[in-house]
Every structure is written in structure tokens, then in C-alpha cells.
Structure 1
Amino acid sequence: MLKGFKDFLLRGNVLDLAVAVVIGTAFTAIVTAFTEYVIDPLIAALGGDNEMGWGFQILADNPSTFINIGAVISAAINFIIIAAVVYFVLIVPANAAKKRFTTEPTDEKASAEDLLIQIRDILETQAAQAGQGGAHAKPISPDQQ
């Protein structure tokens, strides 16, 4: 039971996944800091004198009814940055490597037809050499007539 657990933990894809989670968490912290300290002040400068710039309060006497549109825009920018980095750093190189190192699948239908043609030609040659006529004889082409 412990050996199976050890084998599971030491499989390559489990270790790769653990590294990806750690790197992803660190990268998310960087992007979050960028949006918090660079993008959020820009949104606040464009929006006005509210905390995030583009927020409003539904009920004047209840601060829990504050709707913060700037935070939603900041989260969307955060998502777009992370998605772009994942795409351009992971997906594009992986697809290029996959295309470069994989072989094109052979056309099995064409190769099967070629094999059948070769078998037919061999059988016709053997029949002609054996002097057999009839159905196994090689057909006469129009230029041989």
C-alpha cells in the first residue's frame, strides 16, 4: 500500500503538476501586485474621487452596499494577463514542439492499396512464369494486340 502511494507520488506528471501549482501561485502574486499597484491607481485616476474610481454606493447610509466596478475591471485585466502569459509561454511552444517532433500519420488506406497492388503483381508474375493461362494470366494491354 505504501509502495503504491510512493509510486503515485514519484510519477512524472504528479511532480510536474506540483511544480506548476507553485510557479502559478508565484506568478499570480506578481500579476496581482501589478494590477493592484499600477492598474488600480490608473483606474482610480480615470474614475474620480472614489476608492477605486468607478464605484458607487446603492444606499448612502450603508457602506456594505458599495459596488466597486474598478475591482471587477482590475480582476479582468489580471485574468487577461495570466491567460496571455500561459498561452504565449506554455501553449505556443508546446504546440510548436509537438508539431516538430511528431511524425505525420501514414495513410493506412493508401499503404494497404499499395500492398494489394504489389501482391496482385507478384501473383500475376508467378502465374505467367508457371505458364498458366486463364483467370490468372496477365491481361493483354491494347498496345500488345
Structure 2
Amino acid sequence: MGGFKKFLMRGNLVELAVAVVVGATFSGLIQALVTDLVTPLIGAVTGGKQPDFSDYSFTLNGSKFMYGDFVNHLLTFAIIAAVIYWLVVMPMTRLIGFFDRDKQATEKQCPECLSDIPLDARRCAFCTAELTVVPANDRPPV
């Protein structure tokens, strides 16, 4: 029983549970945004009444295809993907780039086979070409 308790109290599991709850809530919020704001905006731009995409369908050989609900979910997905990209991915990429810009290079490319090899290597481990060693003071930063 102690192992199970340790498993439940691990930081990653708790963070994952919080992320799932926040994600589900965020999904509901975006669904409401699409239904209550985006859909009426489309209706206002097209000059007609508020479209209800969930009622859109077509019939083919007696089978009814309800594609309107798919349009609502597609809009929801696009908005969630855009928000995640602009508010999570872009800032994290910039933050990681900020911390990585001052690192010194630890590898170089072999001029013969273009493999990554250590800076102090005198011979390529992949193609066995002889290499010149660059002094530590002349190495470019990453």
C-alpha cells in the first residue's frame, strides 16, 4: 500500500491531474466562446440570422451526414491550438533560447561526413578522417 501512496503523491501525477482538469475547463470555455461569440459574429457578417452549425447536414443515398457539429468542434480546436501556441509554446521557446544562448559549443561537424563529433577530436569516429583541433579560445559560442 505504501508504494501506491508514493505513486499517487508523485509530483508528475498531481501536475498531470491538475492539467487535465484545467484543460477540460478551458475546452468548455472555448466551446462557449465559439457557440456564444464566434457563431453570432459569423451570422452578423453574413447578414443572416445566427447560424447554428450543429443543425447543418446533407443526405446521400438515404444517409444523413451531420457535419455542422464537426464545424463547431473544428473551430474550437483551432482556437485552442492557437491559444496554446501563442501563450505557451512561443514564450517557452523564447525562454529556453534566452538561457541557451550563452552556452559554449561542445561539438563540431566533421567536414567529410558531416557527423557531430567532440570539439577536441583529432579523428572522426564515423568516417575516420583526420581533423584539425580548434583551440578553446577560438571556439565560437553556440
**Alpha-carbon distance, 1:112 to partner:** 3.9
Counterpart residue number, 1:111: 120
Q: Which letter does structure 2 place at the counterpart of 1:26?
A: T
Q: State the distance in 2 between where 1:85 and 1:3 align.
A: 40
Counterpart residue number, 2:76: 78
Q: State the distance in 2 between where 1:95 and 1:28 align.
A: 24
Q: State the distance in 1 between where 2:6 and 2:30 align.
A: 35
Q: State the distance in 2 between where 1:71 and 1:101 align.
A: 44
Structure 1: 5+ residue stretches without partners: 119-145
Larger helix share, 1 or 2: 1
Look up the SS of the partner of 1:58 in the other structure. Answer: strand
In the superposition, the TM-score normalised over structure 2's length comes to 0.58
Q: State the percentage of identical aligned residues.
A: 33
Larger radius of gyration: 1
Runs of 4+ more than 6 Å apart: none
Q: State the distance in 2 between where 1:68 and 1:47 align.
A: 24
- What count of residue pairs does the alignment treat as equivalent? 112
1:23-38 equivalent positions in 2, closer than 5 A: 23-38=22-37
Structure 2: 5+ residue stretches without partners: 108-116, 123-132, 136-142
Identify if the C-alpha distance between structure 1 residues 93 and 117 changes in structure 2 by more than 3 Å, giving closer, same or farther. Answer: closer
In the superposition, the TM-score normalised over structure 1's length comes to 0.57
Counterpart residue number, 2:140: none
Structural RMSD (CA): 3.7
